[in-house]
Chain A
Amino acid sequence: EPEVTQTPSHQVTQMGQEVILRCVPISNHLYFYWYRQILGQKVEFLVSFYNNEISEKSEIFDDQFSVERPDGSNFTLKIRSTKLEDSAMYFCASNWPGLYEQYFGPGTRLTVT
């Protein structure tokens, strides 16, 4: 069964450093998403992406964040200058237009020290 994959599974970085989290959505899906979950808290929507552009973004998704689909398979989330409060699990998801169920990757645990 096709699945969303994410790399790395765990990323440790120092405050102020740039990180890129990578996702490979399910092929033929056209909508892509990033969410984050701070330990023990709710899942929070960051951004949705369709047709090579951002379709929606939350207040969390400020100028420090960017997304890109550099080729036909990868979908990346970049944090330019990480802060301690960026420490969280970051989940990528994808779905097919018209089908609202989203398929999630296993997540990347980001630890900012």
Chain B
Amino acid sequence: SQQGEEDPQALSIQEGENATMNCSYKTSINNLQWYRQNSGRGLVHLILIRSNEREKHSGRLRVTLDTSKKSSSLLITASRAADTASYFCAFMDSNYQLIWGAGTKLIIKP
């Protein structure tokens, strides 16, 4: 299967703590992207990391990519209640299709 895998499935932390989510994939990729989805809403693009990059930052977001392990992580620092959402990784394969992980449900407790 080309599907991505994410862990944990759910993560509940206190406001102010850091949240780390992981994603693994099985095939070669062009890039890997992270999206956010608020409950019952659309998907919002957060950050993209290309296959030749190892780390990328955007505000409180930090993404790493290890192509040797076929894995990526998303770190949200200094979490806020508004970060509560589901986070999905999606990797772009050689056919430029986005293959999605199962998502991590993040709950930030105030």
**Chain A interface (Cβ < 8 Å from any Cβ of B):** 4, 33, 35, 41-45, 48, 56, 58, 91, 93, 100-107
Which residues of the partner chain A approach B44 to less than 8 Å between Cβ atoms?
104
Does B3 reach chain A (CB closer than 8 Å)?
Answer: yes
Question: Of B30, B31, B43, B103, which is within 8 A of A104 by CB?
Answer: B43
Interface centre among A35, A45, A103, A107 (most CB of B within 10 A): A45
Give the interface SS of chain B, mostly helix, strand, loop or mixed.
Answer: strand
Q: How far is the CA of A31 from the CA of B110 in the complex (A)?
A: 40
Q: Are A45 and B42 in contact (CB under 8 A)?
A: no
**Chain B interface (Cβ < 8 Å from any Cβ of A):** 3, 30-31, 33, 35, 41-45, 48, 88, 90, 92, 95-103
A104-B42, A104-B43, A106-B41 known; A45 vs B98 contact (CB < 8 Å): yes
Q: How far is the CA of A35 from the CA of B103 in the complex (A)?
A: 15
Which residues of the partner chain A approach B88 to less than 8 Å between Cβ atoms?
42-43
| Nearest neighbor of B31 in chain A, beta-carbon distance | A100
Q: Are B45 and A103 in contact (CB under 8 A)?
A: yes
Which residues of the partner chain B approach A35 to less than 8 Å between Cβ atoms?
98
A42-B3, A43-B88, A106-B41 known; A56 vs B97 contact (CB < 8 Å): yes
